[in-house]
Chains A and B, each alone.
Chain A
Amino acid sequence: MSALPPSPAAPLEALLRRHGHDPSALLQILIEAQDIDGWLPAPTLTQIAAAIKLPRARVEGVAGFYSFLYDRPVGRYRVLFSDNITDRMLGNRALMDALCRKLWVEPDKVSEDGLVSIATTSCTGLCDQGPALLVNGRAIGQLNHRRINEIAELIRQQRPLEQWPTEYFQIDDNIRRRDALLQLDMLPGAALAAAVARGREGWLAEMQASNLRGRGGAGFATAVKWASARNATEVRKVVVCNADEGEPGTFKDRVLLNTCADLVFEGMTLAAWAVGADSGFLYLRGEYRYLRPQLEAVLARRRAAGLLGKGILGEAGFDFDIAIHLGAGAYVCGEETALLESLEGKRGTPRIRPPFPVTHGYLGRPTVVNNVETLAKTCLIALEGGTAFAATGTAQSAGTKLLSISGDCAAPGIYEYPFGVSIARILEDCGASDTQAVQVGGAAGICLAAYEFQRRIAYEDVPTAGAFMIFDGSRDLFEVARAFVHFFAHESCGFCTPCRVGTALLKGFMDKLNDGHGAKADLADIDWLDRLLKNASHCGLGSAAPNPVIDTLQKFRPAYERRLVSLDFEPAFDLDAALAEARQLTARDDPGAHLQTHEEDGR
């Protein structure tokens, strides 16, 4: 592995200065510092720690938390294949193997010349146009063998990304069904003007009348959250837009940010007007970093138009601005208190609650954290009034919901429906046939079997953050559950014992079954682990981690049972597999180098 030459310290010092040597900007500093060499050498961490006056160990702790920060060299071309179940169904593994072969590199390793490294990463939010990958943070979808051949050639020629064909980086919105939100054609500032005209109290009253509930999945009443933050005593208040859309199979926030960024930022400003906040953050997941330039451009336009900054719309005392903060590959940061920790430049460990963010959030200030879609929806309420908004949907679920549809269907993409739509209707609309199961709400959500397709999308029936993954009769639901279990084990923050160890144990059990060593006793252990994770975990990640297993064990048990080799007990240890390293060292893979064959020969 060729070490990169030490780079001059100047760019690092410049970026530290740009961030005002602020320790709460540590994550942003690390992300930008990594751009210098492609990874974070130990001396760089030491220098950053000294400059922002934090203990070095603390800086190392933060750098080690995020998947996209590297403490050892990676390739100059860093290729990450999205590894959601939908990517796997579209053949991402074969494509990754092909690219590895063509470039003479093993997965998770750097090529001898330091040119390229190839690995997998959690869902990148391109499930409707997968298989997908990220190369140095830029997304490429619709991979096939031809495209992989071309990419291999471009990397071999060391062609800079700017010279790659632009159609590679073309990300489609694939909006298939529009309703209230996606039909809205609003001039920037129109919703804000309507809300300002009503006054802060009047605007909050409209929000209360709308019955809007959080679109991130939990479904908390938005107006209640806003009112609590407004009533908090501390003066400096904060509005955060949670754009850490990490739930596998969800990509509606990517589309909203790509085509309706004005609605999202206007929603944040509407929230600021209601609660009296002066600063806002868009927490953008690292996988969507390529959206940042266009988002910054929208923010600049809004500042120039007087929709951000001091005295918004000429209203004295209405001061509010928005900064974009990047994540760096950590699903747990979608949990609002983990997100706040990350925003403060720390490890994304969920906090103990209470206190809740509405009273003690970002840097201890009252903070409203809302999902991208929730904030965009507030524009509708400002324009048309709360009662009009509450008129659509169901009794407990007002308005519409954006669904990210992927998997086995003719037309994957974004579908906007009023709440209350049935699963069967959605399946018909997107051209799904022979559907065996639907995973609603992502890995943490619920797996529905065919007999449940009359159920409805609504908080009171099937709640969802928006993911809707379809599996037809040819799919193995055990494989689906196993992929999600791997995902949770990879994304557990490791704070609490049940989630840290439990997700790793669950992964071990699912792999044991997959390898053909499963027994009935394992199913009992899986059941017990599922319960413990659900009961004892510190945050929603741990308690949701067993969901895919619980559902599929209950509804698709044969998929598990046909993997059991004996009815009682079977050890996980595989003697022949343990010899794999010896075989690799001796470059042997003939029948004589395998234990079972050897024994059979002897007999």
Chain B
Amino acid sequence: MKQFLLDGQPVPFEDGQSILEAARQAGHYIPSLCWHKDFPAHGSCKLCIVKAAGRHVSACATPAKEGWEVESATPEMNGERRALLQMLFVEGNHFCPSCEKSGNCELQALGYEYEMLTSRFRHFYPDRPVDASHPDVLLDFNRCIFCELCVRASRDVDGKAVFALTGRGINKHLVVNAESGRLGDTDFSKNDLAARICPVGVILHKGPGFAVPIGERTYDGQTIREQKLKEES
């Protein structure tokens, strides 16, 4: 079987497999936010950035190549990942202590994983009103990281196209499929895949909050590294 070297360790792969898929299959964690095993690579969050044959590439979107030397868990790459996480934190409004998603949030878990101790950069404090118009689901756009997983799930699996991105650059934002701009006026349902796929705390279910207490949530007892490798093995 063909293989490449990830931080010096051989990783086998099949033709067409990405660096990230092959690595995770072999039990090596490369972080990601926008990547999902059931969808084609998106390549926007850039957390899976690795150095392959000396070049920076997205591990999720780059097919593995025989004999490549790939650097991932190096101080350099982890430093860049930490900076990318800091960027995601400052461009939105993330108040972990009061967030229903705390402990289940992949962004927060990655902040811990990559030892992000401060936000480093100045905060943007964008003005992003929440949308509570839907009977079952609340949208808190303050936490959006533009991974487009809800966009893709709704379009490709639910067959509804409830979500889309509009605007450009730092003004890019999520919109819903209604002239009023309100989720309540779309055909969105709490049973949609898009309702369960958000890696952060944008799409929240109404009803009892904090049903699972803080301290007993997905990433409270184990790191995102352990959890993701378990999920995918």
A residues touching B (Cβ–Cβ < 8 Å)?
A: 42-43, 45-46, 55-58, 60-67, 330, 347, 352, 354, 489-498, 500-505, 508, 525, 528, 532, 535-536, 538, 572
Contact = CB atoms under 8 A, between A and B. Distances in A.
Residue among A60, A503, A508, A528 with the most chain B CB within 10 A? A60
Contact of A43 (B122, B164, B179): B179
A256 B182 CA distance: 48
Interface in B23-69: 41, 43-47, 49, 56, 58, 61, 63
Main secondary structure, interface of A, reads helix
B197 interface: no
Given A347-B165, A535-B80, 16 more contacts: A57-B166, A58-B161, A60-B166, A61-B165, A61-B166, A65-B168, A489-B169, A490-B169, A494-B171, A495-B44, A498-B87, A500-B169, A501-B170, A505-B90, A532-B83, A538-B46
A57 B175 contact: yes
A497 B80 contact: no
B56 A497 contact: no
12 contacts: A42-B179, A55-B164, A57-B176, A57-B177, A61-B166, A62-B166, A64-B175, A496-B45, A500-B172, A504-B170, A532-B80, A536-B49
Contact of A494 (B90, B121, B168, B179): B168
B163 A57 contact: yes
Contacts of A528: 83
Interface string B121-139: 1101000000000000000
Contact of B161 (A42, A45, A55, A498): A55
Contacts of A62: 166
Contacts of B41: 352
Interface of B: 41, 43-47, 49, 56, 58, 61, 63, 80, 83-84, 87-88, 90-91, 121-122, 124, 145-146, 155, 161-172, 175-179
B86 to A, nearest CB: 9
The 10 closest A-B CB pairs, nearest first, are A64-B166, A57-B164, A55-B161, A494-B172, A501-B87, A57-B177, A61-B164, A492-B169, A504-B170, A61-B166
Contacts of B124: 504
Given A532-B80, A538-B44, A63 B56 contact: no
A497 B45 contact: yes
Given A46-B179, A501-B91, A536-B56, A494 B166 contact: no
Nearest to A494: B172
Contact of B175 (A61, A67, A354, A491): A61
Given A501-B87, A572-B122, A56 B177 contact: yes
Contacts of B46: 496-498, 536, 538
A501 B119 CA distance: 13
A167 B166 CA distance: 39
A61 B177 CA distance: 10
Instruction: Determine which residue in A55, A492, A572 has the highest number of CB atoms from chain B within 10 A of its CB, and name it.
Output: A55
A494 B146 contact: yes
Nearest to B124: A504
Given A57-B177, A505-B87, A532-B83, A494 B122 contact: no
B44 A493 contact: no
Contacts of B165: 61, 347
Nearest to B172: A494
B88 A505 contact: no
Nearest to A45: B179
Nearest to A41: B179
Contacts of A525: 121
Nearest to B83: A532
Nearest to A502: B87
Contact of A538 (B43, B122, B146, B172): B43
A32 B177 CA distance: 23
Nearest to A493: B168
A492 B161 contact: no
Contacts of A489: 169-170
A290 B121 CA distance: 43
Contacts of B166: 57, 60-65
Nearest to A42: B179
Contacts of A504: 91, 124, 169-170
A489 to B, nearest CB: 6
B161 A508 contact: no
